[in-house]
A and B are shown apart, each in its own frame.
Chain A
Amino acid sequence: MTSPSPTSSSSSRLGALLMAPVNALMRLIDVPLRGLQKSTGIGGMAAFFLAPNMLIFGIFVLLPLVINFVYSMTGGTAFFLAERNFVGGEQYARLFTCQNYLDPMSCQEDAFWTAVGNTFWFVILQVALMILTALITALILNRDLAARSFWRAVFFFPVLLSPVVVGLIWKWILQRQGLLNFILFQFGDTEPYTWLTDRTWTFAATIGVSIWAHMGFYALILLAGLQAIPKDLYEAAEMDGTKPARVFWRITLPLLAPNLLVVVVLALIRAVQIFDEVYVLTGGGPGTSTLYLTQYIYETGFASALRNPGLAAAASILMGSVLVVLTLIQLGIGRKNENKGKR
């Protein structure tokens, strides 16, 4: 075969030198594969190419997904399925045993219901505030700005940071003698706030920090949506002398609505699973004021002395079903948008 080698266009001698062993390896792999191809035919090679991904996929995603249901119906502290005894729906019953269904503290698994309640309020407040700030940011970035890509990057920066780094940065700023208290001190507040030891402030801090960390991602998607709105609509509105507020409510918002919906559902899905940065920032405390669902599952399954993998699996299936509903909504919206585009 004459080798049409597009890689050689990189032309640097160092690159060629580095690629030489890789190319040799690939030629070596090719020898047995030609044999394989002879016996399976061209179509059969598709299975070969698909196999590694599907194998890893099957073992580490599909299989766990299936046996999670089995886990949720077994009891004991052992991790291997063979050593666990079947208990049927007992774990679910345990999660739902409450004396008074209006008071989470009366439930047998009060920590679970505290986590559910915390997660619920976290999701509502975080998503609402985050989408609002992301929308404002996107609208401002969509203006005729100098150095727009720079400003876009400014708001995007925290998105790349690891949750552990985010948690530690803010732990450092919010501590009693931290930067935030110092700034407030400058404005005349003499009593330092206890951001990370007061229940209400800590809950607010987890919301604020997670908005800081993720807002740029959603602003970016909304900005792409805004830029896809045809410019001639705005020009027509300007010619008619339409007021800017009316342009926003009648043109921008309706045309952005599909994007906005996708972004809201995506944010909901992520917010339900909040864990990493909160775990580093507050560890779920003080008390259980920032204990969220994923941390409850993690601690029930692995960390606590009274670990109960079956209970953790049952809780994770309940959380998973919420996520499935949200994802189906998202896919539904996606399909609707696609159909609209085709028409």
Chain B
Amino acid sequence: MGAAARFILRRKGGKGWHWTDIVTWVWLTGGLIIMFGPAVWLGFSSFKTPAALAEFPPSILPYVTSQATVEGYDKPLQLFNAKMPDGSTRVLAEVRRIGIMSQMVDPKAPGEIVRININDRQPVRTLSFATSNYTEPFVHFDFLRYLWNSVFVTVTATLITLVVNSMAAFALSKYEFRGRSAAMLIILATLMVPLSVIMVPLYSIISSLGLFNSLWGVILPTVATPTGVFILRQYMLTIPDELIDAARMDKASEWQIYWRIVLPLTAPALAVLAIFSVVWRWNDFLWPLIVLSRRELYTLQVGLSIYSGELNVQWHFILAMTVVTMIPVVLVFIFLQRFITTGIAGTGLK
């Protein structure tokens, strides 16, 4: 509360409102709404029933209209708050509508039919979260499978990335050998080779290796990231060589030096790379879209986009699955955002 008040009341130099204070205030509040609003709207919408999603104007919270089974009528009837001619309000069930008049009955005493102008009645609505939006796609569609595929790709690719990149970074930072600068140059040069430029030949390589329609075909091309080697190497350069020389005196093998000395000391950089890698691999779309053509192999991203592109879009399921797809990234954002922002500010890499 204190921070909020300070934010609202802060002014430049403390002497009245400068125009820049107003711009700041408008920009930040607007930013808060525009940046978070769509995701929050998605979250609320994902709990609505199909009927509530089709409503216009939409309500923010997920409401459902109440119904009641009334004696003498087969189908459940919709409940309304009806304003009676004498000014009192009663809860009535609608039997049918004729023109602007609605025929209603009291659910407790269904004998007498009351006629009410449709403008004098409001549907009874209760707050209700349609959790079946979340459970059904997992049970009836393949979304559990997609979720598993996504988790498998993300975890495996991140682990391989960490091992392979840190080994390369170790070699490039702690050894003098011929061709070191050439290797460094090649790695840096490929920073400028995006997937969109090499997707045709990469696809043919993946298929000749028998990796088409395999999660490994998604994982392998992504793991030798130049970014990762670059970040880790920069960090390892700061580790004093004396530590390694001392270990060699103690007859430690090079592998032990890598595993027991260099890696633990590189932990902060490894953590940053791990976070980046998880977000990258979780969010990957174009490459999995090319490599995976069988439904049971789709990752969440591919599965979602395919389902949302089908003719009868079942928005209530799509919205719920979008939220599920968003969850890991939101968790990373809440708990690890600081690492990412300092990582980007420091290296300019995404």
Residues of A within 8 A of B (CB): 1-7, 26, 29-30, 33-34, 37, 42-43, 45-50, 52-54, 56-57, 59-65, 67-68, 71, 79-81, 136-137, 140, 143-147, 149, 151-165, 167-173, 177, 179, 182, 185, 212, 216-217, 220-221, 223-224, 244, 262, 266, 269, 273, 275-276, 279-280, 283, 293-294, 297-298, 301-302, 309, 312-313, 316-317, 319-320, 323-324, 327
Q: Are A50 and B254 in contact (CB under 8 A)?
A: no
Which single residue of chain A is at the shortest CB-CB distance from B251? A1
Q: Are B200 and A312 in contact (CB under 8 A)?
A: yes
Q: Are A220 and B341 in contact (CB under 8 A)?
A: yes
Given A34-B253, A162-B301, A301-B200: A146 touches B3 (CB 8 Å cut-off): yes
Residues in B whose Cβ lies below 8 Å from that of A37 = 253-255
Residues in A whose Cβ lies below 8 Å from that of B190 = 57, 61-62, 65
Q: Which of B156-203 contact A (CB under 8 A)?
A: 163-165, 167-168, 170-172, 175-177, 180, 183, 186-187, 190-194, 196-203
Given A71-B201, A298-B290: A45 touches B28 (CB 8 Å cut-off): no
Q: How far is the CB of A215 from chain B (nearest CB, A)?
A: 9
Given A49-B168, A160-B333, A224-B345: A151 touches B28 (CB 8 Å cut-off): yes
Q: Are A177 and B308 in contact (CB under 8 A)?
A: no
When chains A and B are docked, how far (Å) is the Cα of A291 from the Cα of B175?
48
Q: Are B39 and A53 in contact (CB under 8 A)?
A: no
Residues of B within 8 A of A (CB): 3, 6-7, 10, 20, 23-24, 27-28, 31-32, 34-36, 38-39, 41-42, 45, 54, 56-58, 163-165, 167-168, 170-172, 175-177, 180, 183, 186-187, 190-194, 196-205, 207-208, 220-221, 223-224, 229, 247-248, 250-256, 258-261, 264-265, 279, 282-283, 285-286, 290, 301, 304-305, 308-309, 315, 318-319, 322, 325-326, 329, 332-333, 337-338, 340-341, 344-346, 348, 350
Residues in A whose Cβ lies below 8 Å from that of B36 = 154, 157
Q: How far is the CB of A226 from chain B (nearest CB, A)?
A: 11
Q: Are B201 and A61 in contact (CB under 8 A)?
A: no
When chains A and B are docked, how far (Å) is the Cα of A140 from the Cα of B250?
55
Residues in A whose Cβ lies below 8 Å from that of B198 = 61, 64-65, 68, 316
Can you list 28 A-B contacts (CB < 8 A)? A1-B256, A4-B260, A6-B260, A29-B255, A37-B255, A43-B176, A53-B164, A53-B224, A71-B200, A145-B7, A145-B24, A156-B341, A159-B350, A162-B285, A163-B285, A168-B318, A172-B45, A173-B38, A182-B56, A182-B58, A212-B35, A217-B344, A276-B286, A280-B305, A297-B196, A301-B203, A302-B203, A317-B197
Q: How far is the CB of A124 from chain B (nearest CB, A)?
A: 19
When chains A and B are docked, how far (Å) is the Cα of A253 from the Cα of B339?
28
Q: Are B338 and A160 in contact (CB under 8 A)?
A: no
Q: Are B27 and A7 in contact (CB under 8 A)?
A: no
Q: Are A155 and B35 in contact (CB under 8 A)?
A: yes
Q: Are A157 and B322 in contact (CB under 8 A)?
A: no
Given A164-B305, A177-B56, A302-B203: A146 touches B197 (CB 8 Å cut-off): no
Residues in A whose Cβ lies below 8 Å from that of B192 = 269, 323-324, 327
Q: Are A63 and B224 in contact (CB under 8 A)?
A: no
Q: Are A49 and B325 in contact (CB under 8 A)?
A: no
When chains A and B are docked, how far (Å) is the Cα of A279 from the Cα of B36?
23
- Of the candidates B32, B177, B229, the one whose C-beta lies within 8 Å of that of A47 is B177
When chains A and B are docked, how far (Å) is the Cα of A212 from the Cα of B31?
10
When chains A and B are docked, how far (Å) is the Cα of A294 from the Cα of B248?
51
